[in-house]
Amino acid sequence: MICRLIALDLDGTLLNSKKMISPASVSALQSAQQVGVKIILATGTFAQRSPAVLPAIAVNRADDLL
């Protein structure tokens, strides 16, 4: 089966206890994006906080991140 989409929660999943994305996670998500996998942030986190993590995982197209 081919993975075409990854949906991730932020708090406690993608973000560590310091509210940061680990370099390993950034690398893995960027690798996935480079082969066409869409990354979706599915979170209950306030919308004002969510955009702060987008630049860390954006590769070429911000529209891959919803």
CA dihedral in degrees (29, 16, 51, 56; nearest 10)?
-40
Instruction: Please write the tens of the pLDDT for every residue from 12-65.
Output: 788 888 878 888 988 888 888 888 888 887 777 655 555 566 666 665 454 444
Residue 54's pLDDT is what?
Answer: 65
> In whole angstroms, how far apart are CA 3 and each of 10, 11, 20?
20, 23, 25
Which CATH class, in words, describes the domain spanning 5-64? alpha beta
Domain ranges of the chain: 5-64
Sequence-separated (6 or more) residues with CB below 8 Å from residue 65 = 39, 40, 41, 54, 57, 58
Q: What's this model's pTM, rounded to 2 decimal places?
A: 0.68
Tell me the mean pLDDT in the region 8-14.
80
In this prediction, residue 45 carries a pLDDT of 63
